[in-house]
Amino acid sequence: MKIDVLTCFPDMITPVVNESMVKRAQEKGLVEIRLHDLRDFSGDRHRKTDDYPFGGGDGMVMTPQPLYDGIRTLLKQAPEGVRSRVIFPTPDGVVFDQRMAETLAGEEHLIFIGGHYKGIDQRIRDLLITDEISIGDYVLTAGELSSMVIMDAVIRLIPGVLGEINSALSDSFSEPLLDCPWYTRPEVFEGMAVPEVLLSGHHANIEAWRKEERIRKTKERRPDMWNAYQDKGDVENG
Ligand code: ADE
């Protein structure tokens, strides 16, 4: 997969993509990430990329020209026949979830736009953006942060990125229940012992305990998910 990020702040993203899982995914050749400074596409002699909103109001709007030229340049660089998705993270987008991450993980080329201030000129959204995605009902100052969240969730699902594919499959949200608690050594820490069943070596009992814990946590924290899980069970069981 190729990922291009068009941003006024490439330095915000560099350290994140050069660490840990995303770094390894690049080293394995499973993903290629390129960062592009939006100011390089500005026709303005001060490399400006924003301006005051028509009609008045506080804050600035990102101007269409640098985004138009930048996105079109990146689209032209995509290999023949590849459908590129141009993603604009924004609090008024569709709310991101694991299903969306799975869909995006199957794509060959993603372009992320780092939005700032009041956002970007609507004409760019109408002309070139294919996906407007929110990472939740709160407002960040930098679209780079939401781009990194979406990128991380997507890249880890590309086959070969995680050593243990099972660990991605049993994540909270890959299945319709939240994850269970996990323990490692030592057996007792600060006077707190690991649940005995996990030391029993009895696989069926361990699986049953994990399932109970997942159900308990889901009921407690996410009644919406619990209701959906029960409805699905009713359908499957006739
Ligand atoms: N940019 C600012 N806030 C955001 C959010 N909640 N989701 C996606 N992009 C954003």
- DSSP secondary structure letters along 163-205: S-HHHHHTSBTTBSSPPPP---S-SEETTEEPPGGGGS--HHH
* Domain assignment of residue 11, given as a range: 2-155
What is the total count of domains within the chain? 2
44 CA → ligand 1 middle, Å: 27
**Paired tokens of 237:** 């069981």
Note whether residue 166 is domain-resident.
no
138 CA → ligand 1 middle, Å: 7
CB count, 10 Å around CB of 38?
25
pLDDT tens string 128-145: 999 999 999 999 999 999
Note whether residue 164 is domain-resident.
no
Confidence check: pLDDT of 171 > 90: no
**Paired tokens of 85:** 């998705």
- In this structure, what CATH number is given to the domain that contains residue 151? 3.40.1280.10
Q: What is the mean pLDDT of residues 39-53?
A: 96
The ligand 1 atom nearest the CA atom of 136? 6
136 CA → ligand 1 middle, Å: 7
Ligand 1 atom 4: residue of nearest CA: 91
For helices 143-155 and 10-17, angle between their N-to-C axes, nearest 10 degrees: 30
97, 100, 135, 150, best to mutate for ligand 1 pocket (most atoms within 8 Å of CB): 135
pTM of the predicted model as reported, rounded to 2 decimal places:
0.93
Q: What is the mean pLDDT of residues 202-224?
A: 97
* pLDDT for the residue numbered 167: 63
Using the structure block, give the residue that is written with the tokens 């990020």.
5
Note whether residue 116 is domain-resident.
yes
Note whether residue 170 is domain-resident.
no
**Bigger pLDDT: 81 or 175?**
81
Same domain flag for 15 and 64: yes
191 CA → ligand 1 middle, Å: 42
CA torsion, points 149, 156, 85, 36, in degrees to nearest 10? 60
pLDDT tens string 97-111: 999 999 999 999 999
Give residue ranges with CB within 6 A of ligand 1.
89-91, 134-136, 138-140, 143, 146
Task: Report d(CA 119, CA 132) in Å as an integer.
Answer: 12
**Paired tokens of 153:** 């969730």
**Paired tokens of 82:** 């590849």
Task: Report d(CA 154, CA 106) in Å as an integer.
Answer: 9
Note whether residue 237 is domain-resident.
no
* Average pLDDT across the chain, whole number: 94
Q: Which of 36, 27, 31 is nearest to 4 (CA)?
A: 36
Q: What is the mean pLDDT of residues 144-153?
A: 98
Distances, alpha carbon 55 to alpha carbons 50, 62, 64, 91, 117, in Å: 15, 15, 17, 22, 16
DSSP H or E run through 83: none
Same domain flag for 43 and 80: yes
Same domain flag for 76 and 191: no
